[in-house]
Structure 1
């Protein structure tokens, strides 16, 4: 996680994020998965030169030369050279679906096209998690402009989310996060047994 000033765009902070990540993990052992907002030919060239693997959705209108191709009913797999990255080969993976084609640009050559799609789809797990935090735990508004204050709010929210998740697992509850949050807010000083007595219809815990 990285906190940046409001007037700094995410794409401008890409290199700083990589630097921070490199402190904790070996970037050569992971796959970077990001959206088209970070599309930058020079960036792709630099990542490839450093041996860092990535997957990004193909940008509409991107210019490239096809060097080789393989086509099946499920996918098309191309080796391409982007116009602004002469001398470096990339891979364009196109997954054919009933709703249209899904296109990905990557510098990974030792995974099949469906694995490339699977890796990118995993990115949505984080998107869903972020959406759940924002919508259920109200982290859309920062109460502090100080870095430490922002970090405290974010980590407090994460702790609250984990406690709610633990509550759901421990009590085998299928209640949504908002409902559990409401119950804990109003009945937090009571035990689970007392909550059942006070609100038997609004909570189902086995």
Structure 2
């Protein structure tokens, strides 16, 4: 992109970083957001149902960009004194379907960032068959209950040995379920527990475990090579245990996408230290990413 043309500079003028940063801080990011959403809606239809799997698998995760020069005006504080910006992306395996920019301190936790990013996308796609695939950063039973209440399907990798009550097992006795080097140890309908804050007479707060009445599904598989267990929680009861495992494995696609954004499109370099400018840059980066991915597909470049 010719920055001189973008910012209306003559050939003899130099595009200083400070000038670019100032200009970005004044551009309306909603303009670029609208362009990004229009491109996504138009070109996501190019891909067949076979290509986007039986369901739209939306991989959701966050990546952070740190301010190396301590000039970021608004960001999540770190112990080092530096600030960082969190980008929570939704990725359908082919194109980036959503992004949220977080700079407030509460979003340092994925328990705050990911549910907000997911529910904002759900509002944009009222009628969908999406399943949201999420890593261990989100473990809140309350968030899972909220997702289920809004008919948001999800597969979350759970922390091992979390507290639950088994309501029903879907495994047949004496018929072990295996594929390749994997064995299903548990496939059950369960109720989960969550911590409720209780304040004692001295004013101190502790948490009491309370059972949530919403029913979820717990799938536990074990690698026969490493003996490592993987726990998955979902509100999807129609898929097989193998499908749930296979769908979660596709979450790795978003990690590859993050590397593409940071290494090839330089997302990790903050041109602007202003939140407005950062939003403009992330939408411009997403537009560029989609155009590149669409070009690769149309030319069979992998």
Q: Same fold (TM over 0.5)?
A: yes
> In the alignment, is residue 53 of structure 1 matched against residue 153 of structure 2?
yes
Matched with 1:5 is 103
CA distance in 2, matches of 1:39, 1:142: 31
CA RMSD of aligned residues (A): 2.8
Residues 1:157 and 1:103: Cα distance change in structure 2 (over 3 Å): same
> In the alignment, is residue 89 of structure 1 matched against residue 199 of structure 2?
no
Contact 1:28 / 1:51 at 8 angstroms: preserved in 2?
A: no
Q: Unaligned 5+ residue runs, structure 1?
A: 175-206
> In the alignment, is residue 80 of structure 1 matched against residue 190 of structure 2?
yes
Contact 2:111 / 2:140 at 8 angstroms: preserved in 1?
A: no
Q: How does 1:64-143 map to 2 (within 5 A)?
A: 64-69=164-169, 70=171, 71-73=176-178, 74-75=183-184, 76-84=186-194, 85-97=211-223, 98-99=225-226, 100-143=228-271
CA distance in 2, matches of 1:56, 1:161: 27
- The TM-score with structure 2 as length reference comes to 0.50
Contact 2:160 / 2:230 at 8 angstroms: preserved in 1?
A: no
Matched with 2:125 is 25
Residues 1:19 and 1:63: Cα distance change in structure 2 (over 3 Å): closer
- The TM-score with structure 1 as length reference comes to 0.70
CA distance in 2, matches of 1:171, 1:15: 36
CA distance in 2, matches of 1:27, 1:171: 31
- Number of residue equivalences: 174
CA distance in 1, matches of 2:239, 2:212: 23
Q: Which has the higher helix share?
A: 1
Aligned-partner SS, 1:94: strand
Offset at residue 107 of structure 1 (A): 1.2
Contact 1:28 / 1:53 at 8 angstroms: preserved in 2?
A: no
Residues 1:63 and 1:153: Cα distance change in structure 2 (over 3 Å): same
CA distance in 2, matches of 1:49, 1:166: 35
The range that moved more, 62-71 or 106-115, is 62-71
CA distance in 1, matches of 2:257, 2:152: 26
Q: Which has the higher contact order (CA 8 A, sep 6+)?
A: 2
> In the alignment, is residue 146 of structure 1 matched against residue 274 of structure 2?
yes
Aligned-partner SS, 1:87: strand
Contact 1:21 / 1:27 at 8 angstroms: preserved in 2?
A: no
CA distance in 2, matches of 1:107, 1:144: 41
